[in-house]
Amino acid sequence: MVIPTEERRLAAIMFTDMVGYSTLAQRDDKVALELLEEHRRLLREIFPRFHGTEIKTIGDAFLVEFGSALEAAQCAIEIQRTLAKRNHDVTSDRRIELKIGIHIGDVMHRDGDVYGDGVNIASRIEALAGAGGICVSMDVERQIRNALEARFEKFGTADLKNIKLPMDLFRIVLPWEKGTEPSTARVSKKSPILLPAVALIIIALLAVWWWMERSTKSKQATAAPPGPTAPATAPDQKSVAVLPFVNLSDDKGSEYFSDGVSEELLTVLQKIPGMHVAARTSAFSFKGKNATAQEIGQKLGVAYLVDGSVRKSGDTVRIAARLTRADSGQELWSENFTRNLKDVFAVQSELAETIVAQVRGELTGGATAPADKEKIQAEVQAAEKGGTKNVEAHEYFLQGRFYENRHSEKSARDGLAAYEHAVALDPGFALAWAGVAGTNIWLAAFATEGGQKIFDAHLATARDAIARALSIEPNLPAALLARATIETNFDFNWNAAAQTVSKALALAPADPNVLIAAGNLEVARGNMDRAKELYRKAVELDPVNAQARAFFAFHLAVTKQFSEASAEFPHLVELNPAAPWAHAGLGLAYLLQNKFEEAATEAQADAGDWCRLLIVSCARWGQKRVAESDAALAELIKNNAETAAYQVAQVYAYRGDKDKAFEWLERARRQRDPGLAASHNDPLLENLHDDPRWNTFLHTMGLADDQLKTSAL
């Protein structure tokens, strides 16, 4: 028998991980393998320069040992510098980004492998680094703080799986990042009480701060950046962004739960009067990215940030959360919470008051007035309407929302299944019923399987789910939004949609999705200036929301505001180059200026087949390249007759074939094509306006001027 050799020593351990490798491998395994091999080659050239010893690879991860913490940190910085240079001139789908964690501790060498807390901790803290970032333990920071020409930002205290004691962690601020001022961390005293519902805790904290601000300062102007650049004005001091909490669970499938913690908190904060809360899409755009507090605050136009981590294990959830100033990165408050999932909804009001009393001294140095406590409690309870007390149903709801936010046919079906589980467990869960409605509407609008029969089934299910949700909670914005979407896009019931949208706007005036729905309705009713205002406001509230950008940019093109449209479409391409109309929308702007070659060239890059073929067919017709126009139109009809009848009508109208145009408009009406909502002011249909059939068609759709005499939103 061979006795295994063992050697114990102190070592610095680096753990690296490729960001997004698993997702890329599922999408394109050939490209994923190419990038994996390039990444390994680059790193293996760097390790020896800092006396690093490669212990092993674990999939797309490296485990490397160093003799000193300084050499490990220097190596990590060189790796990130090399990759930053390499990524500078490549497309987003070819980027190689790493997260790196470093810890120094006692390790055991045994038969060529390394074991011990030093390894375990390095692998755990890597997840907190973010793309292009480096996270180090407090032990590493202490050893290198005076030897390394770099600054450190404190993450706060993290509770790491299978590590008995909580650890202070730090982020190395890399030299090529924008500079930030050093922050002075301040950690609140620990409470001996087990504290549930971290959302309520932070809500209470922020609400106390809000009341204090309101009583001592006049209201400042809210920053409203129209683009992804930094706002010119200072952010409202009652503004906050809730960043996605990091999932530290062993089960990466539990990401829905960590995302859910962030979203629940964000949703409740949005409903507290007087607070400006960055929209979900904008806040979540920083997920996995190595951005400083100042960069996030400037981009989102907020004064405060909330972030943290979640570790779920069996029936126990551990949540670390902190509140920081965006301008300085100064930590105002942080706390760790351990809670049994079964108790997560218990005694919320009482504990919220307890936490307010605990942190009041941190922010104001005084006690909270009884009236303020009652006001905070009432607002939080009002914000929770439509929810559930069933833990399992709540988890399914979080899963449903996680999948729904991915905006694909498969994820919509996965989300629908999760929402259906939630309402089966709790038939009184109004928000989950709204989720059932929303995913069915998405599938009715975009799914390609099953034809008209399945379309009708999805729409019928959505209607039933909306009725269930509103019977439970009549003032639920999510359910009202779903109802307004059906009334506008499928029923063409403009008056009913106006009433529903008005109610939703009154309840959720800062929800970008509600604003987009309101803008869509105004387009249908011919109020183009009002629609522009609503789309612009959605962009201002959620500057990195590709959907909001798409509607705004497209509206600018349709209304022939070409200069603004040309400036806006690049922002959309930057946010999501795969979004329909990201390129074809600019092509439309060129088409309407008779710049036919530019229109066709720009549209060719669009990911949406139907809008690409629409613009190309029209542009080639404008160039009198009839055969090419015919070919693009034939392809559009062949591939998209059941889902893009309106676009076929647009081509025929642009070409002056009025008979075919009206034939396809009628087909679009029978198919309830949502494109019809914009037909009243569609510039591609202008050739039809002098035909008697045009007014008849408008009357059939309820879009004639005398039918639209209702009050504006």
Q: Are 389 and 379 in a shared domain?
A: no
111 φ/ψ sector (left φ>0, alpha ψ -120 to 50, else beta): left
Which pLDDT score is estimated for 451? 63
Question: With bands split at pLDDT 50, 70 and 90, how would you rate the model's confidence at 178?
Answer: very low
Question: With bands split at pLDDT 50, 70 and 90, how would you rate the model's confidence at 615?
Answer: very high
Task: Say whether 77 sits in a helix, a strand or coil.
Answer: helix
Flag whether pLDDT at 271 surpasses 70. Answer: no
- Distance (Å, whole) CA 134 – CA 137: 10
Q: Are 27 and 72 in a shared domain?
A: yes
Task: Say whether 140 sits in a helix, a strand or coil.
Answer: helix
Take residue 125 and report the two structure tokens written for it: 């803290």
Please compute the mean of the pLDDT values over residues 492-511 and round it to a whole number.
91
Take residue 16 and report the two structure tokens written for it: 């690296």
How many residues does this entry show for the chain? Answer: 713
Higher-confidence position of 267 and 422: 422
Q: Are 37 and 104 in a shared domain?
A: yes
Domain count, the chain: 3
Asked whether residue 512 is assigned to any structural domain, the reply reads: no
Q: Are 165 and 28 in a shared domain?
A: yes
Which pLDDT score is estimated for 533? 96
Flag whether pLDDT at 183 surpasses 70. Answer: no
* Of the residues 457, 474, 491, the one at which a domain ends: 474
The CATH number covering residue 341 comes to 3.40.50.10070
Task: Say whether 703 sits in a helix, a strand or coil.
Answer: coil
Structural contact between residues 632 and 625, judged by C-beta atoms closer than 8 angstroms:
no
Q: Are 42 and 28 in a shared domain?
A: yes
- Distance (Å, whole) CA 174 – CA 88: 16
Asked whether residue 669 is assigned to any structural domain, the reply reads: no
The CATH number covering residue 393 comes to 1.25.40
Beta-bridge mates of residue 58: 61
In the chain, % of residues over pLDDT 90: 32
Beta-bridge mates of residue 711: none
Question: With bands split at pLDDT 50, 70 and 90, how would you rate the model's confidence at 376?
Answer: low
Which pLDDT score is estimated for 476? 92
Please compute the mean of the pLDDT values over residues 64-72 and round it to a whole number.
89
The segment with the largest mean pLDDT, out of 35-49, 54-68, 121-135, is: 35-49
Element (H, E) at 139: helix 138-144
Asked whether residue 464 is assigned to any structural domain, the reply reads: yes
Q: Which of 137-141, 403-407, 519-523, 564-568 has the lowest mean pLDDT?
A: 403-407
Higher-confidence position of 327 and 186: 327
Which pLDDT score is estimated for 316? 75
Higher-confidence position of 176 and 216: 176
Q: Are 222 and 364 in a shared domain?
A: yes
- Distance (Å, whole) CA 83 – CA 671: 50
Q: Are 133 and 215 in a shared domain?
A: no
Q: Which of 99-113, 323-337, 519-533, 540-554 has the lowest mean pLDDT?
A: 323-337
Domain of residue 61, residue span: 6-173
Instruction: Write the burial class of residue 323 (CB in 10 Å: 0-12 exposed, 13-18 middle, 19+ buried).
Output: buried
Which pLDDT score is estimated for 302? 84
pLDDT digits (tens, 9 = 90+) for 477-490: 999 999 999 999 89
Q: First CA to last CA across the chain, in angstroms?
A: 83
Q: Are 359 and 431 in a shared domain?
A: no
Question: With bands split at pLDDT 50, 70 and 90, how would you rate the model's confidence at 679?
Answer: very high
Q: Are 423 and 468 in a shared domain?
A: yes
pTM: 0.60
* Of the residues 430, 457, 474, the one at which a domain ends: 474
Which pLDDT score is estimated for 413? 87
pLDDT digits (tens, 9 = 90+) for 302-356: 888 888 777 777 777 777 777 778 888 887 766 666 767 665 444 333 333 333 3
- Distance (Å, whole) CA 322 – CA 193: 18
Please compute the mean of the pLDDT values over residues 65-82 and round it to a whole number.
89
Asked whether residue 609 is assigned to any structural domain, the reply reads: no
Which pLDDT score is estimated for 589? 96
Which pLDDT score is estimated for 374? 63
| Sequence-distant contacts of 186-192: CB under 8 A, at least 24 apart | 186/330, 186/331, 186/332, 186/333, 186/362, 187/156, 187/157, 187/331, 187/333, 187/334, 188/333, 188/334, 188/335, 188/358, 188/359, 188/362, 189/358, 190/335, 191/335, 191/354, 191/355, 191/358
Asked whether residue 652 is assigned to any structural domain, the reply reads: no
User: How does the average pLDDT of the chain come out, rounded?
Assistant: 78
- Distance (Å, whole) CA 446 – CA 211: 45
The segment with the largest mean pLDDT, out of 349-353, 635-639, 686-690, 699-703, is: 686-690
Alpha carbon distances (Å) from 368 to 190, 208, 335, 605: 19, 7, 20, 58
Distance of CA 502 to the CA centre of its chain: 25
Structural contact between residues 212 and 363, judged by C-beta atoms closer than 8 angstroms:
yes
The segment with the largest mean pLDDT, out of 149-158, 211-220, 388-397, is: 388-397
Flag whether pLDDT at 437 surpasses 70. Answer: yes
Q: Which of 84-98, 268-282, 590-604 has the lowest mean pLDDT?
A: 268-282
Question: With bands split at pLDDT 50, 70 and 90, how would you rate the model's confidence at 626?
Answer: very high
Take residue 384 and report the two structure tokens written for it: 């929770």
Please compute the mean of the pLDDT values over residues 429-433 and round it to a whole number.
94
Which pLDDT score is estimated for 253? 54
* Of the residues 367, 384, 401, the one at which a domain ends: 384
- Distance (Å, whole) CA 599 – CA 592: 9
Question: With bands split at pLDDT 50, 70 and 90, how would you rate the model's confidence at 181?
Answer: very low
Residue located via tokens 């229109």: 599
Which pLDDT score is estimated for 707? 74
Asked whether residue 690 is assigned to any structural domain, the reply reads: no
Which pLDDT score is estimated for 290? 67
Flag whether pLDDT at 242 surpasses 60. Answer: yes
- Distance (Å, whole) CA 664 – CA 646: 7
Take residue 429 and report the two structure tokens written for it: 């869960």
* DSSP type of residue 228: S
Which pLDDT score is estimated for 256? 62
Please compute the mean of the pLDDT values over residues 364-372 and round it to a whole number.
51
Please compute the mean of the pLDDT values over residues 174-184 and round it to a whole number.
48
φ and ψ at residue 159, rounded to 5 degrees: -100, 105
Asked whether residue 519 is assigned to any structural domain, the reply reads: no
Q: Are 140 and 289 in a shared domain?
A: no
Asked whether residue 13 is assigned to any structural domain, the reply reads: yes
Q: Are 409 and 361 in a shared domain?
A: no
E-assigned strands of 456-573? none
Take residue 135 and report the two structure tokens written for it: 């996270």
Question: With bands split at pLDDT 50, 70 and 90, how would you rate the model's confidence at 164?
Answer: very low
Higher-confidence position of 611 and 235: 611
Q: Which of 40-54, 58-72, 325-339, 389-403 has the lowest mean pLDDT?
A: 325-339
Task: Say whether 525 sits in a helix, a strand or coil.
Answer: coil
Question: With bands split at pLDDT 50, 70 and 90, how would you rate the model's confidence at 57?
Answer: confident
In the chain, % of residues over pLDDT 70: 73
The segment with the largest mean pLDDT, out of 26-30, 40-44, 246-250, 338-342, is: 40-44
pLDDT digits (tens, 9 = 90+) for 91-148: 767 889 899 999 888 777 776 677 776 777 877 788 778 788 898 888 888 888 777 7
Q: Are 380 and 393 in a shared domain?
A: no
Higher-confidence position of 403 and 178: 403
Please compute the mean of the pLDDT values over residues 558-575 and round it to a whole number.
90
Flag whether pLDDT at 625 surpasses 90. Answer: yes
